[in-house]
Structure 1
Amino acid sequence: MKFSRQTTLRAQATVTGVGVHSGLPVSLTIGPASIDAGFIFVRTGLDGSDREVRAVAESVIATEFATVLGDRNGPLVSTAEHVLAALRGMGVDNATIEVDGPEVPIMDGSSAAFVAAIDQAGIITQSAARRFIQVLKPVQVSLGESFGELRPHTGGFRAEVEIDFANPVIGRQSYVLDLSPERFRREISRARTFGCMNDVARLWSAGFALGASFENSVVFDEERLLNAEGLRYSDECARHKVLDVVGDLALAGLPLLGAYRSVRGGHKLNHAVLTALLADRTAYRVLESDAVRRPRYAEAGSGMVGGMIAPAYSPDVS
């Protein structure tokens, strides 16, 4: 992982598709943003003026079937995690994400289309140093049979994900990712969302999954995979959970330096662990990269990560 300068997109790029839960057509455009802006969703297509929401933990208003961002007036954009995973996974720090519908388009159920859009737009370096949130002590959350933990880790961000489904075709899987743009692109970005046929009726009755299909979801019954083209990876389900982790933890507002472990997790657990970290000011600190490696930093010793990081200040999480 390179500790250097902040990045944004060189230009805009647009993708179009449908919302997996609403079933409605939607267009999404990613584009440049200023230094320290982070990720900002702009909901267009509403009556009156456009509405903006920052992609931070405090903006999350629901996590049942997807990560939903909103403000005091209600939800603005759902299923934010896949595009956020692509931006964080590919090393983008600041970006605007314009959406003209209630959801980010599901595309093929993975982040691949958003990675392609980032490639089309291009990534440029900005003049300000990149900042990180470094985990200083373990933070743990248990929700029923689910367990999540953020703990200190040297060398960037690591995701350790274990899933255990009663469905025998999915079963128990695990995956470990040391995040970098290269590994995200190669190992994670194409892993698709998945589900079981016996859950479809329940989701439909709750008003969800109206746009789900074999083109954007991996679907299992009790005996077999139903998608004719098969899996992209033998452990695609675990890899997609890693993708969700990268997207959900992008809501920290800055890249994380630490390890995240989840067992039987999902959006709700990911958000709960991130919220627990940010609620404890002794559990983290913000570090700023020192691309020019000034001598006073080189002499700071234990106050740095890899000899290239110096403390900055705590983020505004109010």
Structure 2
Amino acid sequence: MILQRTLGQPISATGVGLHSGERVRLALYPAPADSGIVFRRTDLQPAVDVRAEPSLVNDTRLSSTLVTDAGVRVGTIEHLMSAFAGLGIDNLLVEVTAAEIPIMDGSAAPFIYLLQEAGIADQDKPKRFIRVREPVEVVEGDKWVRLDPHDGFTVELSIEFNHPAFNRAPQKVKIDFADHSYVDEISRARTFGFMHEVEYMKSQGLGLGGNLGNAIVIDDEYVLNPEGLRFPDEFVRHKILDAIGDLYIVGHPLIAAFSGHKSGHAMNNALLRKLLATPSAWEYVSFKDPLDVPSSFHRLPEVR
């Protein structure tokens, strides 16, 4: 039987919030089967728990942010959620001392490292997947995202920036996770932004913690980071990383083909909400025999 997963032991790290600029302590704890991913704001008295679910993604300005009816926020969750998806972790308690997850190096790789250091443990309940049974699509002008039935998990995204740094790189990538490793090919791709956006972002209270150590920064022509890009197509690979994290807010791995053009956090969330609102388009499935699991999920790291 394919089982749910949590951490083997607690682990913590400290970093800075990308948008708030605040110092944040992040602590990850094992959680019971069927509890999902729960964020706990320990800086509030009493502490407040916020469950990761699509209906609570109520701020998508440059990140995915959970906002409760009472206004409690947990922001920039997509890179951490992407790491959970990449390692197949179903249940976890995430404690944070601020309203935002630390940005680390702008990718999911530091979170992958933390999770692997803590170890991954099987639990006594079957893992539940969401199988997409009918196409679901969200279109806004020339932007679109889509989920199609597929016996596995693939992501195909394209971006469109009329800019020299982007014109030198592929702006479309398809990853079939039956053949490719999330950890090796997606997790290290960093977030990116333009110098000319910095002042506007700061006027909106965003990007206050951004620097060349946690984002790719681009001027009118070039990438400013001295080390350059980690992949020739790092920009679109990061969009794939974001999309995987945004989709995992549904709480289960998707058996589907996800595709999109010029998509972002808002559209990814709108797609999840439309999927859940269309009962005929999806179903929960579990697998007693590991050989029945689609090959896209065979690459999940071994439990240790």
> What range is the shorter-chain TM-score in?
over 0.9
Count of residues in correspondence between the two structures: 293
- Structure 1 contact 219–225 (Cα < 8 Å) conserved: yes
1:35–1:288 CA distance, 2 compared to 1 (3 A): same
Equivalent position of 1:12 in the other structure = 10
- Structure 1 contact 90–181 (Cα < 8 Å) conserved: no
User: In terms of mean alpha carbon deviation, does 163-172 or 136-145 score higher?
Assistant: 163-172
Residue 163 of structure 2 is aligned to residue 167 of structure 1? yes
Residue 198 of structure 2 is aligned to residue 200 of structure 1? yes
Q: Taking structure 1 as the reference length, what is the TM-score of the superposition?
A: 0.88
1:292–1:244 CA distance, 2 compared to 1 (3 A): closer
Structure 2 counterpart of 1:220, from 211, 218, 232: 218
1:292–1:110 CA distance, 2 compared to 1 (3 A): closer
How much has 1:180 moved relative to structure 2?
A: 6.8
1:78–1:263 CA distance, 2 compared to 1 (3 A): same
- Cα distance in 2 for residues equivalent to 1:210 and 1:259: 35
How much has 1:65 moved relative to structure 2?
A: 1.2
- Cα distance in 2 for residues equivalent to 1:101 and 1:179: 34
**Larger relative CO (CA 8 A, sep 6+): 1 or 2?**
2
- Cα distance in 1 for residues equivalent to 2:113 and 2:180: 13
Equivalent position of 2:99 in the other structure = 102
Q: Which runs of 4+ in 1 moved over 3 A?
A: 179-182
- Cα distance in 2 for residues equivalent to 1:167 and 1:73: 41
Amino acid at match of 2:156: E
Equivalent position of 1:72 in the other structure = 69
Summarize the alignment of residues 78-157 of structure 1 with structure 2, pairs less than 5 Å apart. Answer: 78-154=75-151, 156-157=152-153
Amino acid at match of 2:163: N
Structure 2 residue runs of 5 or longer lacking an equivalent are 295-304
Equivalent position of 1:282 in the other structure = 280
Q: Taking structure 2 as the reference length, what is the TM-score of the superposition?
A: 0.92
1:40–1:247 CA distance, 2 compared to 1 (3 A): same
Amino acid at match of 1:22: S
- Identity value in percent: 41
Backbone CA RMSD of aligned residues: 1.8
- Cα distance in 1 for residues equivalent to 2:8 and 2:178: 20
Deviations 1:190-234 (A, max 9, x none): 110001111111111111000000000101112111111111111
Structure 1 residue runs of 5 or longer lacking an equivalent are 294-303, 307-318
Equivalent position of 2:299 in the other structure = none
- Structure 1 contact 89–181 (Cα < 8 Å) conserved: no
Residue 58 of structure 2 is aligned to residue 61 of structure 1? yes
1:124–1:134 CA distance, 2 compared to 1 (3 A): same
- Structure 1 contact 153–259 (Cα < 8 Å) conserved: yes
Deviations 1:235-293 (A, max 9, x none): 00111001001100001111110011010111011111111111100110111221489
- Cα distance in 1 for residues equivalent to 2:177 and 2:95: 26
- Cα distance in 2 for residues equivalent to 1:75 and 1:217: 26
